[in-house]
Amino acid sequence: MSRVWNFSAGPAALPEEVLRQAAEEMLDWHGAGMGVMEMSHRGKEFISIAEQAEADLRELLAVPADYRVLFMQGGAIAENAIIPLNLLGERDTADYVLTGSWSVKSAKEAARYGKVNLAASAEASGWTSVPVLESWQLSADPAYLFVCTNETIGGVEYAADPDLARIGRAEVPVVADMSSHILSRVIDVSRYGLIFGGAQKNIGPAGLTIVIVREDLLGRASPHCPTAFDYKTVAEAGSMYNTPPTYAIYIAGLVFQWLKRQGGVAAMEARNIAKARLLYDYLDGSDFYENRIDPVCRSRMNVPFFLKNEALNDAFLTGAREAGLLQLKGHKSVGGMRASIYNAMPIEGVAALVDYLKTFAARHG
């Protein structure tokens, strides 16, 4: 067996330890005589798996007691509709901060359900920055303010949790799409009303969506909200109103335990800083490659970069594949290259990439 360095933006590389454990437990989980995929979601074995996963996630992110953790389905794109359907309530407006493809898509979807006020946009920068908090123009009484704290395609990440108290608007719940950097750094959950993300980047298999929501935001769903997507219904049923994505929850649980063995989120953050620094420092020092994102908001998870001579793109990707470095092609809307280096990518993988970048530049520079 030979495993490659997989730089996919998602579904993405998982920790090898987790995959091995899942393989070992595939036919018989802890003496149950069956695998996790075959278990009733209402049986005591699976309930214990789901409860442990939730407890570990709460511990890793220090989720306060007045927040509910929901295991849902539909991915982050479905949440773009589920969020306004749940949170608009009697208000008619939600505020959105646009920082790239994903927040733009979220705002477009929300506009099907209510009024969207664009509180700020980084479009004028070519989506290379995050508008400074002090420039955000919130509406008079928004149901919530939406941000995407890591733009997977553009490679733009908020440097800190947005603190609306700094602009005197602490009463507005912040809703954050953290799909592509959840658990990669320490966050203050209490700064948010709702955090959500698809699992398939930093957590586990596609099919599971994590929602962390403050309790006072439950119970506002529109009558048109599908029952299975009503946060209050899902919370009251312990994420088992409908059959949850059981296997994805199990793998996510194994990843949470792996994260705890790595020292938790703060230790992971330190590694992610070191990984990102290794790659950005090399790119910045090179006259062969470039990253165009404002250095204060460069993503530690998704690193887009360009060859200055784009005629060499195909040769670059072919050579990378031969060197065991896969999925480096940039998103089609941006072009160039992108290396996604989530928690499961060890620094050795990033070092292998930097070695290849150097070798390729020396051969073609």
**Catalytic machinery residues:** 102, 177, 201
Relative orientation angle of helices 44-61 and 246-261, to the nearest 10 degrees: 40
Beta bridge partners of 210: 71, 197
Number of residues that bind ligand PMP (CB under 6 A): 11
Is 243 one of the annotated binding-site residues? yes
Instruction: Determine, following the binding rule CB under 6 A, whether residue 53 of this chain makes contact with ligand PMP.
Output: no
Q: Is 358 helix (H, G, I), strand (E, B) or coil?
A: helix
- Residue 58: in which H helix or E strand, if any? helix 44-61
Q: Which is nearer to ligand PMP, 8 or 52 (CB)?
A: 8
Do 349 and 341 contact (CB within 8 A), yes or no?
yes
The Cα–Cα gap between 30 and 41 comes to: 16
User: In the numeric block, which tokens belong to residue 132?
Assistant: 């400074």
Place of tokens 């930097």: 354
Q: Which is nearer to ligand PMP, 205 or 336 (CB)?
A: 205
**x/- letters, 102..141, toward ligand PMP (CB under 6 A):** x---------------------------------------
Is 102 one of the annotated binding-site residues? yes
CA nearest to 303, candidates 265, 349, 258, 267 = 349
Binding positions for ligand PMP, 71-90, rule CB under 6 A: 75-77
Distances (CA, A) of 28 to 33, 78, 335: 5, 33, 45
Task: Select from 177, 244, 286, 320 the one that contacts ligand PMP (CB under 6 A).
Answer: 177
Residue least distant from ligand PMP (Cβ): 75
Minimum distance from residue 172 beta carbon to ligand PMP (Å) = 21
Q: Is 252 left (phi over 0), alpha (psi -120 to 50) or beta?
A: alpha
Minimum distance from residue 228 beta carbon to ligand PMP (Å) = 16
Q: Which is nearer to ligand PMP, 243 or 333 (CB)?
A: 333
**Residues engaged in binding ligand PMP (CB under 6 A):** 10, 75-77, 102, 148, 152, 177, 179-180, 198
